[in-house]
Amino acid sequence: MRFYGDGIPGVHPEELTGRLIVMEGADGSGRSTQMDILRDALENKGHATVNVGLRRSTLVSDELKEAKQGNVLGEITRSLFYATDFADQLENRIIPALKAGFIVLADRYIYTLMARDIARGADRGWVRSLYGIALVPDLVVYVKVSPAQLIERNLRKNATLDYWESGMDLGLSRDSFDSFISYQRLIQKEFALMQAEYGFSTVNGNLTVRSVAKEISLRVVDILGV
Amino acid sequence: MIVSQDRGRYPGRLIAVEGLDGSGKSTQLYLLKRWLEMKGLKVFFTEWNSSLLIKKATSKGKKRQLLTPTTFSLIHCTDFADRYERQILPLLKAGYLVLCDRYIYTAFARDAVRGCSPDWLHNLYGFACHPDITLFFNTSLQIALGRILGGRPQLKYHEAGMDLGLSSDPYESFRIFQGKIYEEYLAMKDRFRFIEIDGADPIEAQQQKVRELIAAEIDLAHYRSRTIV
């Protein structure tokens, strides 16, 4: 394996014999459902897996949850808080599992964090260097769903749109529906820009759960040979 | 995001002190602050690793020894960013004299010793402007160590650099760690235009020099508080 940038001091990527599969996509894209299906399929074939996601670090996850409730963090501070959360999981969960030969399934990775930061005005070069600590995954599946479809699924599930997933803090619109559409378009635009550089495997998430799963499974077999 | 090295746009002035533990920098900054305050100037003081918001996470990480060089660096940068975004920058805009006990150079020195890439570190702190004046309290390693270790204090794990595995003896580890940080400071001092103060001089003599320097560099009358108390 290799790092995007300078990497992590003391970690030798050639010692990492496991695989890293990332699933990206907005809330309501079916990302988590697809993650579960993929894990079942891999374990069924005898592969050991480890799940990671955002805001799950021992170090700062509680503080991040707290900060999400109120609007107390500045933009740079929030970016760095998320980066700390990511780095903690990278070093304490992802890398040890990869050393032990596991398949690590990441429910979102640096791309969501980068897109969110950039949508909020962060400098692209700054963000890219910040996440130079990240390992290059073996496969990044990007489950892409149209904003209109996302709204429908989110409303069916929660009957309300999440403040942050609607990007309400950006002041795009005071109406959460309008803000959600504009914000998700912004994020999708960032993903489209990142696509060339990071080589996402984009899957049409507007299709049924079963056909999306089939598509993902094909790509996993194709790239990993597992 | 404000990625700006261009300090000229803000009416305030930023003064930072750097140096080893035991170099006397905090004492000198305190005396400077008192002098400025008593002149009736708008002064704000902030120190390294003091954001209330981040403190809980930092102390948890340190206590449980959860921190690696990368997360150590990131969490200190988060702390700095919080103080920068909510205090340092707004106060500079409001025309304050902002005094910082340790600034980004502390991270450049410590984190580089811990193995972080210097390029990555410099980019990480790229959102912060450089101070108008950076005072570097240059004390020989021996003097600084003597001041700290003289009382055989209880050294904290990270303070002693125990996470680097330099030595199993905290005092020996602290000596080696501080020596490496000192080298990093010396390597940085010209590039970032540190003004050196001899930390071996008597306290009064150092303070005299600091006050003269500040008065020569900054039109202090301009920073008088206009609020009637």
| DSSP secondary structure letters along B189-229 | TTTTTEEEEETTS-HHHHHHHHHHHHHHHS-GGGGB-----
Q: For residue B110, which residues of chain A lie inside 8 Å, CB to CB?
A: none
Q: Looking at CA atoms only, how far is residue A201 from chain B in angstroms?
A: 28
Between chains, do B81 and A74 touch, taking CB under 8 Å as contact? yes
The string of pLDDT tens digits covering residues B17-57 is 999 999 999 999 999 999 999 999 999 999 999 998 888 88
Contact A92/B at CB under 8 A? yes
In this complex, the residue of B1, B75, B116 whose CB is nearest that of residue A9 is B116
Contact B126/A at CB under 8 A? yes
In chain A, domain spans: 13-219
The string of pLDDT tens digits covering residues A172-192 is 999 999 999 999 999 999 999
| Domain annotation covers residue B7 | no
DSSP-H helix ranges across B39-189: 52-63, 69-83, 89-93, 104-113, 118-124, 141-149, 170-188
| Domain annotation covers residue B228 | no
In this complex, the residue of B61, B86, B119 whose CB is nearest that of residue A74 is B86
pLDDT in tens, chain A (226 residues): 999 999 999 899 999 999 999 999 998 999 999 999 999 999 999 999 999 999 888 888 888 887 777 767 899 999 999 999 999 999 999 999 999 999 999 999 999 999 999 999 999 999 999 999 999 999 999 999 999 999 999 999 888 899 988 999 999 999 999 999 999 999 999 999 999 899 999 999 999 999 999 999 999 999 887 6
Contact B69/A at CB under 8 A? yes
Q: Where in the sequence is the domain holding B17, given as residue range(s)?
A: 12-223
Torsional class of A207: left (φ above 0), alpha (ψ -120 to 50), beta (otherwise): beta
Q: Are B97 and B44 in contact (CB under 8 A)?
A: yes
Q: Are A111 and A194 in contact (CB under 8 A)?
A: yes
| Domain annotation covers residue B159 | yes
A13-219: what fold?
Rossmann fold (3.40.50)
In this complex, the residue of B64, B68, B114 whose CB is nearest that of residue A91 is B68
Interface test with A, best of B1, B56, B65 (most A CBs within 10 A): B1
| Domain annotation covers residue B194 | yes
Q: How many domains does chain B have?
A: 1
Q: Are B67 and B163 in contact (CB under 8 A)?
A: yes
Contact A75/B at CB under 8 A? yes
Query: And the tokens for B48?
Result: 């390294």
Type of residue found at A41: A
| Domain annotation covers residue B135 | yes
Q: Are B27 and B139 in contact (CB under 8 A)?
A: no
The Cα B36–Cα B221 span in angstroms is 10
Contact B125/A at CB under 8 A? no
The Cα A72–Cα A53 span in angstroms is 23
**CATH number of the structural domain spanning residue B177:** 3.40.50.300
